[in-house]
Structure 1
Amino acid sequence: MSRFEGLQLKDIAAPERGERIEYRNGKQIVPDEPVIPYVEGDGIGLDITPAMKTVLDAAVARAYGGKKRLAWWEIFAGEKAMNKFGTAIPDDSFNALRYFRIGIKGPLTTPVGGGFRSLNVAFRQVLDLYACVRPVRWFEGVPAPLKRPQDVDMIIFRENTEDLYAGIEWEQGTPECAKVIEFLRGMGAKVRDDSGIGIKPISVTGSKRLVRMAIQYAVDHKKKSVTLVHKGNIMKFTEGAFLKWGYEVAKEEFGSVCITEKELFDIYNGVQPEGKIVVKDRIADAMFQQILLRPAEYDVLATANLNGDYISDALAASVGGLGLAPGANMNDEVAFFEATHGTAPKYAGQDKVNPGSLILSGVLMLEHLGWQEAADLVVKGMEGAIRDGIVTYDLARQREGATEVSCSKFAQAICERM
């Protein structure tokens, strides 16, 4: 009998070593050698994924002296999966992530001509990875458009399964679209005949579990504030409802640790009490201004899907771009970490591009495992390499006196500075 009882695989062999992450009484139990399913990724994935593995292995070895290690196990998606199995995401890959409850992937290209509209979205929706988690901070030495990029240290929790990602649409000119328009007019709406129609559902379930995860993160990491970002001034029963339900979670489930911004000033005269988290809200367009002008006032952001998409990318740009922007897609038991940029196929196999996004996603993964010592070593190494000007071409061309190195040499420089 396989030691991985219950693991259903059709086309790939089970891992040769490692153990499964367990959940007992709602708590994650991490073995000393967890199996880490990984998808190499398309395009530059074949360069940045080995670099990420090298850095994480070095950090774990240095932090724990061989007592802990990562059991890497390749699963498949994207072009490699199409070539091997004739499908962009085999069932084996979904089953592996469900079973081992963790994984990391390089960037993926969605094949043209059918199947999933987006492989990234497919993973999120099939596995119900309802939160896209994107931390953004500045690394000293990275050219950034902000005058004080060091003030940026935020983490965005973006709802992953509804709003625009639900993708309910009817094409202009089709009989189906005409029926929807007729129905909407019957409900009193004014819609032009030549319209295409899209619907954005936002639910109590989707909103509350997203905000719950964001607030719990703030509690666990001793953050000062959680900001609900919305467009509720216009879309009152979707965006506005997200705001309403978010405040309900804060009050009903975290009332002992959360206060509202109004309470901060009405009761506490603007002085935040020790151990309290301030829950506030900002209209989405105003939040764009805030991340540029007053970023130090924000720690954790919780948003519906589209707002989080814009804001996380804009925030990454404010500190130098997506090259150093990590990300994860998570639910209450499964966490799937990813590079947040594209596949850049013209650079594939050249050992040229910046692996920083995927390496920092690996840092998130180490933190998720509870291996903070190893995570801190990776960050220390990356800070040291960038500070010393040992960087890949994308950063070197923006920085006078930098030493341009390859993808693998950048990973080596990180390891040397741990």
Structure 2
Amino acid sequence: MNSFEKITIPSEGEKIIWEDEELKIPNEPIIPQIEGDGTGKDVSPAAKKVLKAAAQKTGHDIHWMSIYAGESANDTYGEYLPQETLDAIEEFRIALKGPLTTPVGGGFRSLNVAIRQKLNLYTCMRPVYYLEGIPSPMKNPENMDMVIFRENTEDVYSGIEWKKGSQKNKNIINYLNDEMGTQIPEDSGIGVKPISEKATKRLVRKAIDYALENRNKYQFVTLVHKGNIMKFTEGAFRDWGYKVAEEEYGDNVITENTLWEEREGKIPKDKIVVNDRLADNMLQQLITRTSKYDILATPNLNGDYISDAAAGQVGGLGIAPGSNIGDGKAVFEPTHGTAPKYAGKDKVNPTGAILSGRIMLQYIGWDKTQKLLKKAIEKTYKDKTVTYDIYRQIDGGKKVKCSEFANLIIENMESFS
């Protein structure tokens, strides 16, 4: 193992290795962990404790290695995203991360986006599903069981924009108006929205691969875009997605047109169906035809909107997990923010952080461990021993602290292990 200046490598455990395009997972891996800012100080310790307990109860163990980003990095290194942190994730392959706040003047539009882009974690994968016992605004929240694959490096999140009135802004507007025949007002801010064939195809491959690996559960991969308006970016995303499906997965995939024109709507057991929907339509389809969708593949901005909307149907962002995946490396993180006013009060819900760890367990192939974890979480919610955010939505419950909720999950593992 390499040595680090500020990072202490645990004396026990082994590295996860990326070899021959495959992760080699030891029984007791060393996993880097960024605590995070704000309520990261509460949810990250809770998540680490629960995940380690689940691992130990299923014949494994996890050895956590603290690494730094955000406020903790600035305190330790004098910068918010040190190279040593990125190097540690590159070497140890996966990491668990708490929420981060990007400070004003920090040098990044977003620390979260910077980590994804610098490590080329091009796929944001967000499973959205209902946990029994959690209140929901929907009549049948259990119908929601989707996995959203959101492109992570391009679109408006690439950060290419020019402020109104700046010289570069004026140059761009003058060029577009004079040379390209547009009529952009001079008082406009300008941004560029790149969507490339390469990035689109590698994202869609991830989505189709995931569907094929789980074909006993999922049958559809839906390309979500606004191609009727933005034909050469989002329309191209749709076209490139279909091209991947047809040229690279022809034996395993059929399109929706083929399904109805040649098969009368009957899906063969060994096939995945690839279809597409407009992004605005998809937002209402989430509500009106929830159970008809499995895997969604989207450009960056669409995926942000859609994953948050889907999470709202099953309880909200506080319980929503997330992951950022590249080739042989990944960072797992909750989708919620830092909520600084609750930091250090042992109050907030750690479910989003814990379920992000559940994706990590699935990613490294610990199926028995992730199933035990989900059962224990659901039992805790069904017992109505919940943190304040859920307590205020239910009758007859018991309000517990963040750390107490984590301990109850661990206790409830005994019912299933």
Task: Please list, as runs of the form range in 1=range in 2, the aligned pairs for 1:236-275 lying within 5 A after superposition.
Answer: 236-275=231-270
Structure 2 counterpart SS, 1:337: strand
Alignment equivalent of 1:108, drawn from 92, 100, 105:
100
Q: Percent identity?
A: 54
Contact map agreement 1:9 1:95 (CA 8 A) in 2: no
CA distance in 2, matches of 1:380, 1:387: 10
1:8·1:92 contact (CA, 8 Å) conserved in 2?
A: no
The answer to whether 1:399 aligns with 2:394 is: yes
Q: Deviations over 1:28-50 (max 9, x none)?
A: 11111111000011111111111
> Which residue of the partner structure matches residue 410 of structure 1?
405
1:202 corresponding residue in structure 2: 195
Residue aligning to 2:176 = 184
What residue identity is the alignment partner of 1:219?
A: L
Give the letter for the 1:287 counterpart.
M
Local SS of the residue matching 1:309: helix
Residue pairs, 1:119-138, within 5 angstroms: 119-138=111-130
Task: Write the distance in 2 (CA, Å) between the matches of 1:121 and 1:153.
Answer: 26
Which moved further from structure 2: 264-273 or 192-201?
192-201
Structure 2 SS opposite 1:178 = helix
| Structure 2 residue runs without a partner (length 5+) | none
Within the candidate set 97, 118, 122, 2:110 is matched to 118
Is the 2:358–2:373 Cα contact (8 Å) retained in structure 1? yes
Separation (CA, whole Å) in 1 of partners of 2:3 and 2:278: 45
The question of whether the paired residues in 1 share the 8 Å contact of 2:126 and 2:307 is answered with yes
- The answer (yes or no) to whether the contact 2:80–2:106 under 8 Å persists in 1 is no
Match of 1:212 among 205, 210, 229: 205
Match of 2:46 in 1: 51
Q: Aligned with 1:351: secondary structure? A: coil
Given residue 204 of structure 1, which amino acid in structure 2 is its aligned partner? Answer: E
Q: Which moved more, 1:123-132 or 1:186-195?
A: 186-195
- Show CA shifts across 1:162-200 (max 9, x none): 001111111111221111112112112221222111110
CA contact (8 A) 1:393 1:405 kept: yes
**Partner residue in 1 for 2:342:** 347
Pairing partner for 2:141 from 127, 141, 149: 149
Does structure 2 conserve the Cα–Cα contact (< 8 Å) formed by 1:313 and 1:322?
A: yes
CA distance in 2, matches of 1:348, 1:402: 24
Normalising by structure 1, report the TM-score.
0.96
Q: Report the residue type matching 1:162 in the other structure.
A: E
Q: Deviations along 1:319-359, whole A, 9 cap, x unmatched? A: 11011110001101111000211111111111111000000
Separation (CA, whole Å) in 1 of partners of 2:3 and 2:186: 50
User: Counterpart in 2 of 1:20?
Assistant: 15
Whether the aligned pair in 2 keeps the contact of 1:229 and 1:307 (CA below 8 Å) is yes
User: Which of 354, 358, 366 is 1:363 aligned to?
Assistant: 358
Matched, 1:382 2:377: yes
Aligned pair count reads 410
1:111-133 Cα shifts (integer Å, max 9, x gaps): 22231111101101110110111
**Using the alignment, how far apart are the partners of 2:123 and 2:141 within structure 1?**
26
CA distance in 2, matches of 1:174, 1:77: 32
Secondary structure of 1:252 counterpart: helix
Q: Is the 8 A contact 2:18 2:93 kept in 1?
A: no
SS of the residue 1:121 aligns to:
helix
Are the counterparts in 1 of residues 256 and 275 from structure 2 also a CA contact under 8 Å? yes
Q: CA deviation at 1:8?
A: 5.7
**RMSD of Structure 2 on Structure 1 (CA):** 1.0
Please tell me whether the aligned partners of residues 7 and 66 of structure 2 are also in contact (alpha carbons under 8 angstroms).
no
Which consecutive segments of 4 or more residues in structure 1 shift more than 3 A?
A: none
- Give per-residue Cα distances to partners, 1:263-289, cap 9 Å, x unaligned: 000111001111110101000000001
Distance 2:151 2:96 in 1: 19
1:221 and 2:200 matched? no
* 1:257-312 CA distance string (max 9 Å, x none): 11000100011100111111010100000000100111100000000000000000
The alignment's TM-score, normalised by the length of structure 2, stands at 0.97
Per mean C-alpha deviation after superposition, the further-off stretch among 154-163 and 193-202 is 193-202
State the match for 2:186 in structure 1.
Answer: 193
Farther off after superposition, 52-61 or 8-17 = 8-17
Secondary structure class of the residue paired with 1:38:
strand
What amino acid is aligned across from residue 189 of structure 2 in structure 1? G
Q: How much has 1:90 moved relative to structure 2?
A: 1.2
The Cα of 1:20 is off from its aligned counterpart by 1.5
Residue 297 in structure 1 maps to residue 292 in structure 2: yes
Superposed, which structure 2 residues align to 1:309-328 within 5 Å? 309-328=304-323
Query: What's the counterpart of residue 83 of structure 1?
Result: 75
